[in-house]
Amino acid sequence: MSKLMQPCRAFCHVFLDDIIICSKSFAEHIHHLKSVFETLAKEKLVFNASKCELAVQRVVLLGHKVSETSIEPTPDAIQAILDLQEPHTLKETNQFLGGIAYYRKFVPNFSHIAAPIHKVSNFIKDRRHFFKWTVKQSNAFHALKRLLTTAPLFFHFPVDGFPLHFATDANGIATGGVLFQNVNGQCHNPFHHSKVLSPVEQKY
């Protein structure tokens, strides 16, 4: 599908079988829709009308609500996190970390908070019997669930005309940074980043 939509790539994004059209005005949107319809018609492809949303200002995409100014998880995505049970095995721990990794950009100091869990999740297969889930991991698990279901889980897209700032921090466990803007006295956090330091990196 991505290859098929190459003629419309300036305003059209393909995610699996979803086609997202981005326009700056209603008139431009009509023009973009016409181009997409014509491109698909050449390949004898049609839309399912019941699954189409035209000329909307907000869409749900890959478990997120995306608008002109921001992106945030959907209520269903938040509920899925609330339903997560505390891991008791190495496999369950890695599944938990993999399941919430996408949301790290929403949470300041994500890696620092998750560090106790990462510490017991990096055993290779023949050393998995060393896995031990303790109070430290349990506290980190519940702290992450709490942040991922109660914090304002969204970030703003950069606003034209305002400078971008990047602040960093580090300790002996993890590094972190945030890309942000001061927009008329309000702090917009477009992107958070954090990373757990490896045992070797922690020695420096």
- Structure confidence by residue, pLDDT tens digits, 99-114: 888 788 778 788 889 9
Name which of 4-13, 42-51, 132-141, 195-204 the model is least confident about: 195-204
Please choose, from the candidates 190, 181, 202, the residue with its C-alpha nearest in 3D space to the C-alpha of residue 111.
202
Q: Would you place residue 142 in the very low, low, confident or very high pLDDT band (cuts 50, 70, 90)?
A: very high
Q: How far apart are CA 198 and CA 142, in angstroms?
A: 23
Average pLDDT value for the chain: 85
pLDDT score, position 125? 57
- 184-199 residues labelled b (16+ CB within 10 A) or e (exposed): eeeebbbbbbbebbee
Alpha helices in 83-134 (DSSP H): 90-100, 110-119
Name which of 29-38, 47-56, 85-94, 128-137 the model is least confident about: 128-137
User: pTM to 2 decimals?
Assistant: 0.66
38 pLDDT higher than 90: yes
Taking residues 62-76, report their average pLDDT.
83
Q: Would you place residue 123 in the very low, low, confident or very high pLDDT band (cuts 50, 70, 90)?
A: low
Beta strand spans in the chain (E): 12-15, 18-21, 58-61, 64-67, 70-73, 155-156, 165-170, 174-183, 186-196
Burial of 148: CB neighbours in 10 Å, binned 0-12, 13-18, 19+: buried
pLDDT score, position 69? 81
Residues 156, 190 contacting (CB under 8 angstroms): yes
Q: Would you place residue 127 in the very low, low, confident or very high pLDDT band (cuts 50, 70, 90)?
A: low
Please choose, from the candidates 52, 55, 50, 16, the residue with its C-alpha nearest in 3D space to the C-alpha of residue 32.
55
pLDDT score, position 128? 64
Pick the more confident residue, 156 or 116: 116
